[in-house]
Structure 1
Amino acid sequence: MMILRYSAASPYARKIRIAAELLGLASRIEIVAASTADPKDSLRQQNPLGKIPTLLLEDGTALYDSRVIADYLDYLGGHRLIPADPLRRFDVLRLQALGDGINDAALLIRYETATRRTELRDPEAIALQQGKIDRALAVLDAAPPEGPVDIGQIAVACALGYLDLRFEGAWRAGHPRLAAWLAEFEVQVPAFAATGA
């Protein structure tokens, strides 16, 4: 059995959990919580970066980051979330990069605001990351994802879910088309609600 090291709040781990469910692989993966802050957690031996998600294969090989894990699971699951057709494939992977990029920026804001004392926070760094999020949301709201569920849509949904979790859904007011898309995604993909923190 494979082992997924994860945190319930991680949007990257959520992406993998949803992908595994949609690909029919969830029963082959044991979900094991990891603490990226605990030096005694075996995660650091499994992944030298000490990051989640990390997927441990049955032979002991560790796969990381979420994009690599998603590609591997899609291979096992019959290439249903990442199309084989090159043009469609790169559209899907670009959408995944956009969703993951929102997460990257949101996590940097979260670290800056949750772990630093107020007087040590860097407002310019926060504004820089917020600009990335705002531009990505504007692009997505102008043209919400379409077509069958793929890894790009999953990544975007997980990014929006993370913004809801950490920033109280402030993004929704200015992006009604994207909010409507997420509501439809939640209905279409029950694993989204099942994997929320």
Structure 2
Amino acid sequence: MKLHWSPKSPFVRKVMVCAHELDVAGQLTLVRSVAAMLKPNLQLMADNPLSKIPTLMLDDGRTLFDSVVICEYLDHLAGGSLFPREGDARWRALRWHALGNGLLDVLILWRNEREREVPLGALQDAFALKTEASLMLLEQEVEMLAKAPLSIGHVAIGCALGYTDYRFASLEWRSRAPQLTHWFAELSKRPSFVATEVAEG
């Protein structure tokens, strides 16, 4: 399998964390691909018309995108349990997954906006408010997160917090979320997160 990949994409990181957790990372051939919003990548578009990463090409020629679909495919392929099959565990995992993905969407849009020549202050304020509200909800729910078996929800939230550190260090979110800080520190020790940590260079 071939994965269009970038080391700084949090959605790619989510796929790679899952791949390591499921012990299928060795089955992936990583293809360094740039997916800039203002400059579509024509080579990438041959596999994904949206010019977005991650994109996974299967050995039979089919392609899968986006990270939600790819992570579930890898879980299915490996017979994993990152996507609980039924009951409350399933809905908790999917809800946390949606929260982590949604927070990443907000942060990426916020980063794009702040890099504009004339950023919209009201839009940045809205992004800041949504980010803070998401972090405070996670602080309230962190005890449930800690008790639940590792799922796609944990992976998505962990990648969102990692991206917050990487692109929005000035938020200093740990000062307002001590329990979430502890939980994230423990999650970050997992080999899958260590192996996929974003580094400059």
- TM-score scaled by length of structure 1: 0.93
Q: Secondary structure at the match of 1:4?
A: strand
Q: Which residue in the other structure is 1:52 paired with?
A: 53
- After superposition, the C-alpha distances for 1:15-40 in whole angstroms (9 at most, x for unaligned) are 10010011111111111111113545
Q: What amino acid does structure 1 have at the position aligned with 2:68?
A: R
Q: Which residue in the other structure is 2:124 paired with?
A: 126
Moved over 2 A (4+): 37-41
Q: What amino acid does structure 2 have at the position aligned with 1:56?
A: M
Q: Which residue in the other structure is 1:178 paired with?
A: 180
Q: What amino acid does structure 2 have at the position aligned with 1:171?
A: W
- TM-score scaled by length of structure 2: 0.91
Aligned residues: percent identity? 39
Unaligned runs of 5+ in 2: none
Is contact 1:35-1:41 (8 Å) kept?
no
Q: What amino acid does structure 2 have at the position aligned with 1:27?
A: G
Is contact 1:138-1:175 (8 Å) kept?
yes
Q: Which moved more, 1:102-111 or 1:4-13?
A: 4-13
Q: Tell whether 2:8 aligns with 1:6.
A: no
Is contact 2:35-2:41 (8 Å) kept?
no
Q: Tell whether 2:22 aligns with 1:23.
A: yes
Q: What amino acid does structure 2 have at the position aligned with 1:10?
A: S
Unaligned runs of 5+ in 1: none
Query: 1: CA distance between counterparts of 2:130 and 2:57?
Result: 32
Query: 2: CA distance between counterparts of 1:76 and 1:42?
Result: 27
Aligned residues: 192
Query: 2: CA distance between counterparts of 1:167 and 1:82?
Result: 29
Q: Which residue in the other structure is 1:69 paired with?
A: 70
